[in-house]
Amino acid sequence: MNTSKPVPTTSLPSRREFLKLSGQAVAASALAGVALPHCHAAGGGTTKLALVGCGGRGTGAVADAFAAKGDPVMLHAMADLFEDRMDKSLTNLKTKFDEKVDVTPERKFIGFDAYKKAIDTLSPGDVVVLTTQSAFRPMHFEYAVQKGVNVFMEKSFAPDAPGTRRLLAAAELSEKKNLKVGCGFMWRHSKARQEVIQRIHDGEIGDLHMLRIYRVHGPVHCPPVPKGANELAFQLQHRALFNWLNGGFFVDWHCHNVDIACWAKNDWPVSAQGFGSRAHKEAGNLFDHYSVEYTFADGAKLFAFSRHMAGCWNTYSDYAHGSKASAMIMSNLSDPDPCIYKDQRMNKDNVAWRYGQKDINPYHAEWQALLDAIRNDKPHNEARRAGMANFAALLGRIATHTGQMVTWDQVMKSEFQFVKDIDHLTLDSPAPIQAGPDGIYPAPIPGKTVEV
């Protein structure tokens, strides 16, 4: 496949234009009045899956698909760069779901072009599960859309702006083809979060003027590169620790919280500035802490805190502050337990409303929504919103790495790429970043690093 040319920025929706398509009405709004081809007959029998990217994230996504109610779902093909990782995933899935796994040796594919071979085994109405490093997500999504295959793709969605524009161009084509696309922002399918955000939108806390989001917990450490190792293969096997592969911690991990905050605000930020650095050399070539101040068009602020270090205060939570009151959108990952407080004092004696129920499993709910849409030919396409949320996360990371005040428009139009020709990468290619003599990778340097 030829390398895609950069998508002209004039073809992209502006920040304000996209808000008309935001939230759960994205697909319906985008496709209103269009004569849509049927991509799957209702009650059409077994839906086949092809898993592209067989790490823990991909294996978990398939297990979540198996939990959906309705017609059967079967794992049909698998693709990965590394055979041992694929075999481990297959063994785990067969151990737990043997009757739902039908992956023959002929449908196990290894290599940089394995995604094409796996997708080519599918038929209209089937689903490819894209869970590789996000550097490859736009390319894989683009091919699936060209082939007319429905998609579930995990976050994050691209490590830089050209990749995100490429993904958005494929998203536009997927809408025209009436493909069903689910994206890994499972919190959008959380009943608890839906309830508290609807109350925020209804004005229960007044005008929303500040949000705070936190993902602060322990680290993921990068070992030194073994002597004589294939450096590119090493980086691919430690994908969480390299900006070029997954966009870094702030994009790949904190994008959930950024997306939820922008959903609560019902807007995308116009600018950002941030502070961060790498305190521990084991953090790959990433920063291990970020503090980002986003600004919205009306002057409201979003403060995002991301830290991945041992021995520090931990929390995974989201908060909103309005002119009349405040809200806890998420208290912790296992159960968001949202509530609204009578004013800005967030304590248990000052609660005006609490969700008060155990939330549904959003990982299962996102798959149920996707499969129901396929079986009943209902509009369901989350790709545009995923791309725009990816831009919002990139805005924060770029501002922090460069040490500059960066605008939304600058990021949307940026031509900076970590890898210029991702389509033709092979294990013989030089690694996009090289370790120093001590085996440690260089981190960004605010004031010197260029990412926009």
Band (pLDDT 50/70/90 cuts) for residue 14 is: low
Are 55 and 154 within one domain? yes
Do residues 339 and 354 lie in contact, with contact meaning Cβ atoms separated by under 8 Å?
yes
**Short-list 90, 315, 137, CA closest to 239:** 137
**Is 210 inside any structural domain?**
yes
357 and 251 in one domain?
yes
Separation of first and last alpha carbons in the chain:
27
Instruction: Please check whether residue 337 lies inside any domain of the structure.
Output: yes
Q: How far apart are CA 430 and CA 442, in angstroms?
A: 16
Kindly state the percentage of the chain with pLDDT values over 90. 85
Q: Cis peptide leading into 156, omega within 30 of 0?
A: yes
Domain range for 36? 9-187+364-384
Domain count, the chain: 2
Measured CA to CA in angstroms, residue 317 lies from 57, 107, 281, 364 at distances of 22, 41, 27, 21
Structural domain contains residue 451: no
Residues 169 and 318 in one domain: no
Q: Residue 128: pLDDT above 80?
A: yes
Backbone φ and ψ for 152, nearest 5 degrees, come out as: -120, 120
Cα(134)–Cα(58) distance, integer angstroms: 12
- Span 250-266, pLDDT tens digits: 999 999 999 999 999 99
Can you list the alpha helix ranges (DSSP code H) found in 287-432? 362-376, 383-402, 408-413
Identify the CA nearest to 6 among candidates 395, 414, 446, 443. 414
**Cβ atoms 115, 143 nearer than 8 A:** yes
**Range 284-296 average pLDDT:** 96
Domain with residue 244: its CATH number is: 3.30.360.10
Residues 162 and 276 in one domain: no
pLDDT above 90: residue 42 = no
pLDDT value for 437: 85
pLDDT of residue 13: 52
Q: Could you tell me if residue 32 is inside a domain?
A: yes
Whether residue 178 sits in one domain with residue 40: yes
Kindly state whether residue 347 falls inside one of the protein's structural domains. yes
Q: Looking at residue 32, what is its pLDDT?
A: 33
What CATH number is associated with residue 100? 3.40.50.720
Query: Are 150 and 28 in the same domain?
Result: yes
Report yes or no: 290 and 302 within 8 Å, Cβ to Cβ.
no
Q: Rounded distance, CA 411 to CA 286, Å?
A: 19
Are both 226 and 353 inside the same structural domain?
Answer: yes
Q: What pLDDT score does 74 carry?
A: 98
In this model, does residue 11 exceed pLDDT 80?
A: no
| DSSP run (H or E) holding 315 | strand 315-322
> How many Cβ atoms are within 10 Å of 364's Cβ, its own excluded?
18
pLDDT band at 17 (very low <50, low <70, confident <90, very high): low
Residue 19 pLDDT exceeds 50: no
The answer to the question of residue 424 being in a domain is no
Alpha helices, DSSP H, located in 204-359: 231-237, 243-246, 248-252, 255-265
Q: What is the pLDDT of residues 380-420, one digit of tens each?
A: 999 999 999 999 999 999 999 999 999 999 999 999 999 99
Residues 270 and 332 in one domain: yes
My answer on whether 242 and 291 are in the same domain is yes
The position carrying tokens 């705070």 is 212
Q: What percent of the chain has pLDDT over 70?
A: 90
CB 77 within 8 A of CB 103: yes
Ranges 213-217, 280-284, 335-339: which has the least confidence = 280-284
Assigned domain for 161 exists:
yes
Of the segments 219-223, 311-315, 332-336, which one has the largest average pLDDT value? 311-315
95: number of Cβ within 10 Å? 9
424: which 2 tokens?
Answer: 């033709």
Indicate whether 39 pLDDT > 70.
no
Query: What is the spatial distance between Cα 306 and Cα 315, in angstroms, rounded to a whole number?
Result: 10
The predicted structure's pLDDT at residue 227:
84
Q: Is residue 299 part of a domain?
A: yes
Q: Are residues 37 and 182 in the same domain?
A: yes
Q: Which two tokens stand for residue 16?
A: 């304000």
Query: Would you state the pLDDT for residue 10?
Result: 36
Confidence class for position 141, pLDDT limits 50, 70, 90: very high
Compute the average pLDDT of residues 342-348: 97
Which one is predicted more confidently, 425 or 437?
A: 425
Q: How far apart are CA 194 and CA 264, in angstroms?
A: 9
Mean pLDDT of the 284-294 span: 96
| Mean per-residue pLDDT, 22-27 | 38
> What are the pLDDT digits (tens) for 82-112?
999 999 999 999 999 999 999 999 999 999 9
The overall average pLDDT reported for the chain is 91
Residues 150 and 30 in one domain: yes
Could you tell me if 354 and 218 lie in one domain?
yes
